[in-house]
């Protein structure tokens, strides 16, 4: 009903929208140490100030909640809908070729720069959606609120703070992902683990294994070191598909660099884990008997290379709604007197302490490894049949001509802890935005159509 008016409004304001995105993307809002009135450092605070100024200029009532988040309301009626976008960005990293990370440019059909897709572009089009509804003079009976956060990339302490002060409306979505609707986020289990033993000097022996920087990444590179075998003897064991081993010998120690393929822990099938590959080849080598080596072999048997579904651990499971459990050994270190590491498992709705974490704990204990916790992170689920999701997918179909549907993911989004929340937008299925990487970009038309949809959704839900 309002589609033509909304379309015309966005086309008319296209340049202003792009200018606003650029204004926010020029601010390096990477989290740093807290300072007075800057819980996440000066960058996120500067981005929040700029977005507040922008929202006030649009004519909205804005509330800065202690520099953690700002709320932007279209009216002072009962809250019905929240749109959650964030103004912090991940570190710029290296390798930018199209522009400097904080000097955004429009090139072809895209806008490039850190934050253009994740999540300043979506934040700006959300504000413009609210402004479109106001400027078109459409009366609402309920309030739509935009919540602008400043710490999504670093654990969402901003929303934790917000939720102590204000409630969430019954419906909320976060344009911090892709279309159509993400309504299920798996739960998780991410314990660290340790084992200790007395050093055993019998040869041959494993002296070191080390790899991984984060539990949630499939480890690309690691190394191990062996004493008491020649390089040639070791090399006989170094054959695993898609894994590159490079051995060198120095002072009687064979050092082996291992390269697999990194991937996110929620999609382990896309990676090749260099840690599990190392444990697999080491397990087969003729080492002298020792508690340490036995533990290493035991661990490799529980998490064999290529088993990212938890089969050997006895926790492989899946349900129709959320898909299979995944499991990643993301960090690992082995020394002559102990080992430590971190697992990251993404668990379907059907998983619980009894059929998942307690089993992992028991199996690991059997081989002498202690976990720091058996506590799991709850999954998030907003039913696909809800009126809210029907409205979102309906708008998506109307404005894009594509079919709306719901997806389940292994990662957690901004709405993981918000009842009734989903992720919705702003990139179209299949579009690559290089979020978190160099040359991050957003397709301008995708941002524009997102803004249009959001305006329509605000009207439908709050009228
Ligand atoms: Zn984001």
Instruction: Give the single-character DSSP code of 254.
Output: E
Q: Per-residue pLDDT tens for 327-337?
A: 999 999 999 99
pLDDT reported for residue 214: 87
State the Cα–Cα distance between residues 437 and 371, nearest whole angstrom. Answer: 33
More confident residue, 390 or 436: 390
pTM: 0.82
pLDDT reported for residue 411: 78
pLDDT reported for residue 34: 97
Q: Per-residue pLDDT tens for 272-312?
A: 999 999 999 999 999 999 999 999 999 999 999 999 999 99
Topology (CATH) of 3-185+380-462: Aminopeptidase (3.40.630)
Query: How close is the Cα of 268 to the center of ligand 1, in Å?
Result: 21
For 123, the enclosing helix (H) or strand (E) is helix 120-135
Q: Which residues of the chain form CATH 3.30.70.360?
A: 188-371
Q: Is-contact 328 336, C-beta < 8 A?
A: no
Query: How close is the Cα of 291 to the center of ligand 1, in Å?
Result: 45
How much is the average pLDDT of 338-360? 97
Query: Confidence band (pLDDT; 50, 70, 90) for 410?
Result: confident
In this model, does residue 340 exceed pLDDT 90? yes
State the Cα–Cα distance between residues 280 and 298, nearest whole angstrom. Answer: 10
Q: Which residues of the chain form CATH 3.40.630.10?
A: 3-185+380-462
Query: How close is the Cα of 307 to the center of ligand 1, in Å?
Result: 30
The alpha-carbon radius of gyration of the chain (Å, integer) is: 25
Contacts of 44 (CB under 8 A, 6+ apart): 29, 30, 31, 38, 87, 88, 150, 151
In this model, does residue 229 exceed pLDDT 80? yes
For 244, the enclosing helix (H) or strand (E) is strand 244-250
- Domain 188-371 matching CATH 3.30.565.10: the answer reads no
What is the percentage of the chain residues whose pLDDT exceeds 90? 95
Which among 125, 36, 169, 5 is positioned nearest to 442, based on CA atoms?
125
Query: How close is the Cα of 126 to the center of ligand 1, in Å?
Result: 14
State the Cα–Cα distance between residues 346 and 434, nearest whole angstrom. Answer: 23
pLDDT reported for residue 412: 82
Query: How close is the Cα of 176 to the center of ligand 1, in Å?
Result: 5
How much is the average pLDDT of 43-59? 98
| Mean of all residue pLDDT scores within the chain | 96
Query: How close is the Cα of 83 to the center of ligand 1, in Å?
Result: 13
Query: How close is the Cα of 152 to the center of ligand 1, in Å?
Result: 6
Query: How close is the Cα of 228 to the center of ligand 1, in Å?
Result: 49
Q: Per-residue pLDDT tens for 68-107?
A: 999 999 999 999 999 999 999 999 988 999 999 999 999 9
pLDDT reported for residue 213: 87
pLDDT reported for residue 1: 75
């Amino acid at each position: 009903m309002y589609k033509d008016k909304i379309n015309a409004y966005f086309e008319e304001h296209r340049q202003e929208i792009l200018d606003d995105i650029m204004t926010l993307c020029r601010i390096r809002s990477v989290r740093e140490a807290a300072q007075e009135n800057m819980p996440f450092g000066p960058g996120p605070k500067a981005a929040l100030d700029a977005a507040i100024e922008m929202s006030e200029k649009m004519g909205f009532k804005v509330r800065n909640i202690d520099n953690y988040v700002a709320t932007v309301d279209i009216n002072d009626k009962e809250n019905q809908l929240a749109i959650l976008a964030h103004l912090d960005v991940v570190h710029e990293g290296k390798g930018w070729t199209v522009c400097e990370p904080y000097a955004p440019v429009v090139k072809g059909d895209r806008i490039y720069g850190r934050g253009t897709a994740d999540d300043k572009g979506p934040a700006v089009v959300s504000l413009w959606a609210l402004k479109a509804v106001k400027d078109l003079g459409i009366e609402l009976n309920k309030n739509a609120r935009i919540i602008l956060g400043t710490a999504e990339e670093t654990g969402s302490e901003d929303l934790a703070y917000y939720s102590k002060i204000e409630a969430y409306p019954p419906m909320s979505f976060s344009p911090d992902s892709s279309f159509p609707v993400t309504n299920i986020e798996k739960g998780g289990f991410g314990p660290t683990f340790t084992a200790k033993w007395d050093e055993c000097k019998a040869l041959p022996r494993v002296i070191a294994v080390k790899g991984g920087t984060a539990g949630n990444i499939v480890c690309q590179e690691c190394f191990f070191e062996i004493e008491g075998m020649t390089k040639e003897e070791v090399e006989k064991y170094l054959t695993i598909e898609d894994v590159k081993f490079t051995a060198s010998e120095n002072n009687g120690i064979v050092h082996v660099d291992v390269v697999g393929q990194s991937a996110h822990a929620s999609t382990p099938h896309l990676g090749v884990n260099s840690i599990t590959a190392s444990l697999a080849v080491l397990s087969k080598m003729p080492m002298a008997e020792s508690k340490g080596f036995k533990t290493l072999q035991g661990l490799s048997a529980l998490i064999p290379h290529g088993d990212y579904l938890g089969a050997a651990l006895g926790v492989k499971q899946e349900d129709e709604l959320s898909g299979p459990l995944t499991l990643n050994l993301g960090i690992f270190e082995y020394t002559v007197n102990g080992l430590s590491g971190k697992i990251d498992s993404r668990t379907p709705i059907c998983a619980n302490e009894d059929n998942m974490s307690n089993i992992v704990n028991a199996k690991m204990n059997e081989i002498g490894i202690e976990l720091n916790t058996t506590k799991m992170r709850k999954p998030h689920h907003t039913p696909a049949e809800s009126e809210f999701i029907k409205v979102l997918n309906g708008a998506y179909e109307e404005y894009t001509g594509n079919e709306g549907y719901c997806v389940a993911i292994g990662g957690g989004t901004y709405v993981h802890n918000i009842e009734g929340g989903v992720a919705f937008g702003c990139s179209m299925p299949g579009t690559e935005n290089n979020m978190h990487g160099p040359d991050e970009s957003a397709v301008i038309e995708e941002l524009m159509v997102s803004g249009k949809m959001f305006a329509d959704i605000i009207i439908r839900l709050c009228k």
